[in-house]
Amino acid sequence: MALAMAMAFSACGNTATKPKEETKEEVKQEETAKDEKETESTTDIATLSGDFEGTAKGYGGDVNVKVTMENGVITGIDVDQKETGAVGGAGILRIKEEVIAKNTTDLDNISGATISSAAFLSAVKNAIKEAGANPEDLVAKESKEDRQTEITTDTVVVGAGGAGLSAAIQMAQDGKNVTVVEKAGITGGNSSLASGGMNAAETKLQKEEGIPDTVETFVADTMKGGHDKNNKELVEKMAAESSEAVDWLEELGAPLKQLKFSGGQTEMRTHAPINDEGKSIPVGNYLVQKLTEKAKELGVEIVYDARVEKVLMEDGKAVGVEAAYKDGEKLKVNAGAVIVATGGFGSNQEMVEKYNPDLKGYVSTNAKSIEGDAVDFLEEVGANFIDMDQIQIHPTVVQKDGSLISEGLRGEGAILVNQDGKRFVNELETRDFVSKEILSQKDPAAWLIVDQSMFDQSATIAKYFDKGLLTKCDDYKALAELIGTDEETIKETIENWIETVKNNEDKEFGRKGMEETRSDLSVAPYYAVQISPGIHHTMGGVEVNTNSEVLDKDGNPIPGLYAAGEVTGGIHGANRLGGNAVTDIIVFGRNAAKHAEEYLQK
């Protein structure tokens, strides 16, 4: 059933239905435009020297800049901003370098970080206007065109998300030349948006905390979660190499120091990062920043804003790719092997509806660049695709903008209640089951509730609040008014949960792992958000074997062609367990790299 609903956007005590909101990008761009002050030019920009300050609204808050100029030339820019590090922060860094190099604000926004880069440009313009000059009068520096149109390398990796970066780093560590081609202006893709953690079994952290997990249990949970539609050989490889993958990340400077429960787990195996204060932080933003830094440190070449359109074949073997820059100019990359890591197609509504018409009208949590580019160019070389109709909806998505509320919150103690203020499901069931139960409620929607103790332990929750996703309610009465139910009902629900946690037993819904719950929701104030399911992950994709080789329609490997991450099918079956995607991209990104290296040595 397609999701057709009007969500309520609320403040405590008032619940009102609004018409469809503008997108995040439309709203922020309007605010950015307002921030570009109409200051009359009174100063010749060629005489402008000193430090000048400006501000504009970004996605995560104000973007503040201090622009240093000498005789009308921008020589430096200090930035204070709260944008997401691997997305907006990365976009600002790239656009900042370009502004200084070219001495102009007449630049395109960074694709993948449009809001943040637009805010930065507006802030720089505002700084110049505050100084009484016109930013349009900046004399742009002449720069040699350094954009490449042909590259030769050992291996080309298509896509700079988690799988692509992992593959590139592994190859660089092993002494191979590698070029990454990315269609967006920043690294990350969907990996930047991962919120919970990375599943792994038999790890050092589990042993330290006495978690009796095994690879076999990990495999069994994943197969059950995927309704046994998974390719078991791929699942076994992912589980068997998961602990080593966690160790590898730690060696790169990206340790995962906290354990959480995610839906469908028999044992606690979701490994998550924490900040310097010991608070939980989103795994995706953390890992993408760390992987990007490591790739650059190792000399990995990343070509941005180039969309791969074709895999080059010679004598039946993959020998490179052809891509196009945003202005249409072509890029040819000659390579001994090709690794495709472009992600899924969750942001391509037309493709989603083609493979699963029931999902028409659903909001998506995916990055805008995740459009299934590889489907066409891999079909052209005869690759086989499997499980394309298996598209996961995530249960806890904010409908107004597609923001995902992490499954990790439920693992730590958050509960779901319906419009009557009552629990209606085991919050740690698999995503498809919880989504089905939410959709069976009236509206159909639910509320996710956390308390102050959870807020204090989690930088992730604090970020949700800062972004305006969570509404603060001081007591039961305010919480009831927000949800639209009576105070006694919500009080009974919360107090029953307190008893459930105290007794380590969920008699009502059979939720497991109660002894690991970090909060019993006993500390007011409360924070709540209305959610409903949204498109999250495409389990189907190109068929691969355990060597990450792309298979043709006869089941034979296509020489020199590999794939890893969400672009592949078979690993997650009919439903992906939370935390398995990060395991997938790290394990199979490295796996593709290692087998590509073996191929190159033949």
Q: Which residues are catalytic?
A: 431
Residue 357: what residue type? P
For residues 90 and 165, the answer to whether their CB atoms sit within 8 Å is no
Residue type, 95: I
Residue 242 is encoded by which pair of tokens? 């998961």
DSSP 335-357: EEEEEE-----TT-HHHHHHH-G
Distance CA 254, CA 247 (A): 9
Burial code of 233-266, b = ≥16 C-beta within 10 A, e = fewer?
ebbbbbbbbbbebbebbeebebbbebbbbbbbbb
Residue with tokens 């899924």: 344
1: exposed, middle or buried (C-beta count within 10 Å: 0-12, 13-18, 19+)?
exposed
Distance, C-alpha 447 to centroid of its chain:
23
* Structure letter (DSSP) for residue 288: H
Are 515 and 261 contacting, i.e. CB atoms less than 8 angstroms apart? no
Q: Quickly list DSSP for 220-278.
A: HHHHHHTTT-S-HHHHHHHHHTHHHHHHHHHHTT----EEE--TT-SS--EEE-B-TTS
CB crowding 83-106: b at 16 or more within 10 Å, else e = bbbbbbbbbbbbbbebbbebbbbe
Place of tokens 């209606």: 424
Q: How far apart are the first and last CA of the chain?
A: 51
What single-letter DSSP state applies at residue 423? B
Tell me the residue length of the chain. Answer: 602
Q: How far apart are CA 304 and CA 316, in angstroms?
A: 28
Q: Whole-angstrom Cα distance, residue 166 to residue 590? A: 6
Distance CA 86, CA 283 (A): 11
Q: Are strands 62-70 and 568-569 parallel, antiparallel or unpaired?
A: unpaired
Q: Angle at the Cα of 308 (from 147 to 378), degrees rounded to 5?
A: 160
Q: 565-579: string of b/e by CB count within 10 Å (b at 16+)? A: bbbbbbbbbbbbbbb
Q: Would you give the distance in Å from CA 300 to the centre of its chain? A: 22
Q: What is the largest CA-CA distance in the chain?
A: 75
Q: Is the peptide bond before 135 cis (omega within 30 degrees of 0)?
A: no
- Token readout for 1 is 């059933």
> Which pair of tokens denotes residue 65?
């800049």
Q: Please say whether the beta carbons of 451 and 527 come within 8 A.
A: yes
Q: Provide the H-helix boundaries in 450-486.
A: 452-457, 459-466, 476-483
Rounded CA-CA distance 217/199 in Å is 12
